[in-house]
Structure 1
Amino acid sequence: MKSAGEFDLIEFIRTQQSVVRPDVLLGIGDDAAMLQAPADHALVMCSDTLNEGVHFPVGTDPEAIGWKSLAVNLSDLAAMGACPSWCLLNLCLPESDTRWLERFTNGFFELAAAHDVVLVGGDTTRGPLSISVTACGFVPRELALTRSGAKVGDDIWVSGTLGDAALALRRMLAGESVPAELMDALDRPTPRVALGSALRGFASSCIDVSDGVLQDLGHVCAASGLAAEVAGDWLPVSDAFDALAPREARLQLQSSGDDYELCFSAAPGYRNLLVDLAEKLDLRLTRIGSFTSGQGVHLTQAGRLSALEKRGHAHF
């Protein structure tokens, strides 16, 4: 069946998920969900909207859209040190195409199952393709990561590599071939949930790199009342990026956003611990600078101050 009514679509979505959680007292099927929060934990909530032609190109694979719509939210939870639990999904669809929806939910629920996340409600309506997800998670009340805790002298770290998604999009729009490593970074980013939980207790601040590492780091500077000094030569890159990114555009691509890595701060005394953590998680962690007194983000390249025309993604 290609087309279906609203309630058929909702029932179809409900039957596609496999995760069951005891803290979901009442899920999809009523006017609202009933959920049980654990004692001594804070509830953490975030929401993101992805629009066709803005956040993903027209014709993007539905599985990739499903995966990414949840991943960008789980990345926000990870930046707070929270463990994901539940989510809401609002779908605006040009038509009730169940073949498209099946592929979308395959990607969505694949990632949900990997992080024990239950879809507990949402909405469906007709219109230009747009997906909005609200995700919830929990963190011990005294251990939440925020943007406001950085201190003078703290190291600045980033997970994974930067610029892969931006380079994939650039090459795709130019009609050039895109290696699978770069395409996965664009379509199926990995939310660093395990890292976020592991950073609780010693990371002094944290943010997810969605709009660009320099722009997002600027939010930490503003919240913490500090300046950041970042060495452009230290920004981590993948082998594919290193081989294909034009030299004159590398810094611009690395600061364009859509990376969904974690940028965090920690005192220098934790460097060995972070080396061990990187090995334990099998995840690259790179020190890219430090916090100082002052304001704003100061980028150096080969030891000299560097100015970029654009330091991240602008939503408007």
Structure 2
Amino acid sequence: MPDAERPGEFETIERLFRPLALEPYARGLLDDAAVLPARPGHDLILTKDTVVEGVHFLGDDPLDLVARKLLRVNLSDLAAKGAQPFGYLLSCAWSPRCGWSEREAFARGLAEDQRRFGVGLLGGDTVSTPGPLTLSATLIGYAPEGSAPSRAGARAGDLLVVSGTIGDGGLGLRAARSEEMGLSRAERDALAHRYRLPQPRLELAEAVRVFAHASADVSDGLVADAGRISAASGLRAVIDLDAMPLSAQARVWLYAQADPAGAAATLATAGDDYEILAALAPADLKPYCEACKAAGVPAALVGRLEAGEGVEARWRDQSVSLSRRGWTHG
């Protein structure tokens, strides 16, 4: 089917799946997580992500790293809801290349990050497929009752604050593909490692619960995920691209480009960063950033929410034209 005729990811959700959602627990399918009443004083937080060979990881990526990325992209969704992880359900559709040694490597990766993040396998399913290799996990966590922020809770006047650095995921994919980037080998290797092994910001879960009116993880790009918060909240987002926190490698790449504003837009729409984007009251900016710093993760003010709709990206007070907002699946 030609791309122009292929249904989009969010159109599919809106038109076909939202009418099936079990509310209020599914939160309108706007939130990348469901919230259910659980043990006394807590809500159960559920989230599910899938990774597909050739889409979310490369065909020659070691399967122990693929396993760890699978867990981490799901753990990132829990972090954005202020949740602590508990366990997960796993689904593996093994392609013909996945013999015993490949499956052993995958299990070793799961075991390593289970120990690191304190989660355990609860069940699942394995099947065979002619390809590509497709892996999915449903992560289960807990948050104090009523404390998990949604994407829909932002208010006009809120500030948009993001953790860590933005743009390394997109540059890391290019580095993993051995594309020419004008960077040293060490810089490319650092970016590729960031792409293959993102860091879920679980250490920020408490700060997110305490301070955020709304939150999301930056999986599809800063602009796209800010747009999802603003759309769910009925607001307009303004992103200051020149305020984006960048790694040393991303900064070197950015200022080597002929059009820094366009390059910054590329970084802001590439995705795969898995940082936390939070909407905060202005009075909470300082204590939130201090809490993030105390947890070992810096946070930066990158924009604001105001009355209206849509998303505007700006570079040094000038509006920047965007060819796309971020990654989307069909």
Match of 1:285 among 287, 299, 310: 299
**Which amino acid letter does the alignment assign opposite residue 63 of structure 2?**
P
Q: Corresponding residue for 2:154?
A: 150
Q: How does 1:1-316 map to 2 (within 5 A)?
A: 37-95=38-96, 97-127=99-129, 128=131, 129-176=133-180, 177=185, 179-245=188-254, 246-247=256-257, 248=259, 249-316=263-330
Residue-pair matches, total: 281
CA distance in 2, matches of 1:236, 1:213: 11
Q: Corresponding residue for 1:26?
A: none
Q: SS of the counterpart of 1:162? A: coil
Q: CA deviation at 1:173?
A: 2.7
**Which amino acid letter does the alignment assign opposite residue 255 of structure 1?**
T
CA distance in 2, matches of 1:205, 1:217: 10
CA distance in 2, matches of 1:278, 1:77: 17
CA distance in 1, matches of 2:266, 2:216: 20
CA distance in 2, matches of 1:192, 1:160: 9
Q: TM-score, normalised by structure 2?
A: 0.81
Q: CA deviation at 1:98?
A: 2.1
Q: SS of the counterpart of 1:201? A: helix
Structure 1: give runs of 5+ residues left out of the alignment. Answer: 1-36
CA distance in 1, matches of 2:82, 2:193: 24
CA distance in 1, matches of 2:197, 2:252: 21
Q: Corresponding residue for 1:31?
A: none
**Conservation of the 8 A alpha-carbon contact between 1:162 and 1:255:** no
CA distance in 2, matches of 1:214, 1:175: 24
CA RMSD of aligned residues (A): 1.7
**Which amino acid letter does the alignment assign opposite residue 219 of structure 1?**
R
Structure 2: give runs of 5+ residues left out of the alignment. Answer: 1-37
**Conservation of the 8 A alpha-carbon contact between 2:160 and 2:279:** yes
**Which amino acid letter does the alignment assign opposite residue 88 of structure 2?**
C
CA distance in 2, matches of 1:242, 1:185: 15
Q: TM-score, normalised by structure 1?
A: 0.85
**Which amino acid letter does the alignment assign opposite residue 193 of structure 1?**
L
**Which amino acid letter does the alignment assign opposite residue 227 of structure 1?**
R
**Conservation of the 8 A alpha-carbon contact between 1:252 and 1:311:** no
CA distance in 1, matches of 2:173, 2:54: 12
